[in-house]
Structure 1
Amino acid sequence: MLALRRSLIALVAIVGVVAGAVTAWVVTEASDGGAHATRGEAAIGGPFELVNTEGETVTDQDFRGRYMLLFFGFTSCPDVCPSALMDMSRALDRLADAAPAKLERVVPVFVTVDPARDDVVTMAAYVENFHPRLVGLTGTPAQLRAAADAFRVYHEKVMPETYFGGDAPERHEKGDYMMAHSAYMLLIGPSGGYVANFKHEAGPAEIAAGLREHVDAS
């Protein structure tokens, strides 16, 4: 059942990234009057205003000049989120060993899609379980919805029996809920533009290799 759920979430992730990328290709008129496609940047990313674990308001502008390694999830997530954040942490440790100058240019960021439960205190306690540089961001429902939309991240409140395929653990009380969400990790460049994405199945070695490839240490 766990493998099935991960496959479904990964499929959502792939669809979201592909949809965003496809809409970003620009069709222009060629010099001979015909239409041709030119290479463009994926339409992923944009302005946001959220709150960090110190209770301070931060925006996309606070990350300019650095790369964001970005993941959306929620602290009550039983498997996908902690495994993704652990992979992120281990990838950053690998990057520190192989290319420390590049590590300094990367900011790992975890944004909740569950603002009702993931307040500042909850997020602060949660991110301490992962990389010491991990930035946790929360906010109002409207703020988080705008951020998720900007980065083409799917998220939806579902009941435990839906999330777990009818086999909800007893610890989930009646009326409780889970968050179905995209499970890809995004690399956002110093100017705020999309650079790359890593699917959920990508392990620390693949993520670290991608960072070495895409991050400019200058």
Structure 2
Amino acid sequence: MTRKKSLSLRQALIAPLLAATLAVTGCNSAPSAPSEADWPLAGATIGGDFTLVDKDGKTVIWQDFAGQWRIVYFGFTFCPDVCPVDAAAIGGGLNRFEEMDAARAAKVTPIFISVDPKRDTPEVVGEFAAAFHPRMVGLTGTPEQVAAAAKAFVATYSYGEPDETGYYRVDHTAMTLLFDPDGKPVAILETHQGPQELADELAKWVQ
């Protein structure tokens, strides 16, 4: 699993949007609270309805999170490297944002969606998510439900061949996406830069 796929997708999504923003604002503009026009992902067709399952086996849809800023990440709990690092950055970053501004941080819900429903039962993904932040929601579903959710959020994944123990890797895009309370895409959060960077990004966007 590498970040190459994620980085190229990120560049394709935000390059034209970023160029347009720079052309409008100019280099000497005074800083101000970001509006929707300032969002790096403004107008991008990312996100949408899904039907998945939480740790208690309860059906969860995208609209259940209406009114909340949402951090969305697609991964799998058996991931040996990238996923736990990114999940730790999300959880740690939200913790730091809570220390900076508890009221705004309370508006943020982190969501971890498994792309490995064969191994990631609702209980497994729920425990995994909660280990990184008590409010992180772990979701999974049938292979068809997961595939539909991944398609809506521009996430891709594929399964490797099992080894002699039955373990297999899952290659997937590793993007951490921030959505506003209406479910509109705001920005890609740079989890690979650590929790403080993520906290600073949340402080910049969350109103």
TM-score surpassing 0.5? yes
d(CA) in 2 for partners of 1:71, 1:88: 9
User: What residue in structure 2 maps to residue 188 of structure 1?
Assistant: 179
Which structure: greater strand fraction? 1
Distance 1:149 1:19 in 2: 16
> What are the superposed Cα offsets for residues 151-197 of structure 1, whole Å, 9 maximum, x if unpaired?
1112111237xxxxxxxxxxx53553110011121101111110011
Structure 1 residue 70: deviation in Å? 1.1
Q: Deviations over 1:29-62 (max 9, x none)?
A: xxxxxxxxx9951111111111111111011100
Shift of the alpha carbon at 1:75?
0.8
1:10-33 deviation per Cα after TM superposition (whole angstroms, max 9, x unaligned)? 2211222334457989xxxxxxxx
Q: CA RMSD in A?
A: 2.2
Decide whether the 8 Å contact of 2:110 with 2:136 is kept in 1: yes
Query: Which of 96, 102, 110 is matched with 1:100 structurally?
Result: 102
Partner of 1:89: 91
- Check conservation: 2:73, 2:174, Cα contact below 8 A: yes
Normalising to structure 1: TM-score of the pair? 0.78
What corresponds to 2:46 in structure 1?
44
Identity over aligned residues, as a percent?
38
Q: Residue 203 of structure 1 corresponds to which residue in structure 2?
A: 194
Q: Give the match for residue 3 of structure 2.
A: 10
Q: Secondary structure at the match of 2:43?
A: coil
Secondary structure, in 3 states, of the residue corresponding to 2:3? helix
C-alpha distance in structure 2 between counterparts of 1:173 and 1:199, whole Å: 35
Which stretches of structure 1, 4 residues or longer, exceed 3 Å deviation after superposition? 18-25
Cα separation, 2, equivalents of 1:23 and 1:81:
28
Local SS of the residue matching 2:48: coil
1:200 deviates by: 4.3
Q: TM-score scaled by structure 2?
A: 0.82
- Contact 2:130–2:137 under 8 Å retained in 1: no
Q: Which moved more, 1:111-120 or 1:196-205?
A: 196-205
How far apart are residue 124 of structure 1 and its match? 2.4
Aligned to 1:78: 80
Q: CA deviation at 1:128?
A: 3.1
Deviation at 1:129?
1.7
Structure 2 residue identity aligned to 1:114: D
Rounded to whole Å, the distance in 1 between the matches of 2:183 and 2:172 is 22
Report the CA distance shift for 1:24/1:151 in structure 2 as closer, same or farther (over 3 A).
farther
- Contact 1:113/1:155 (CA < 8 Å) preserved in 2? yes
SS in 2 for 1:77: coil
1:190 alignment partner, SS class: coil
**8 A Cα contact 1:24 1:43, kept in partner:** no
- Cα distance in 1, alignment partners of residues 149 and 73 from structure 2: 12
Inter-CA distance 41–121: structure 2 relative to 1 (3 Å threshold) = same
Paired residue total: 186
Q: Name the larger-Rg structure.
A: 1
Task: Indicate how the Cα distance of structure 1 residues 22 and 152 shifts in structure 2: closer, same or farther if over 3 A, else same.
Answer: farther
- Structure 1: tracts of 5 or more residues without a match: 26-37, 161-171
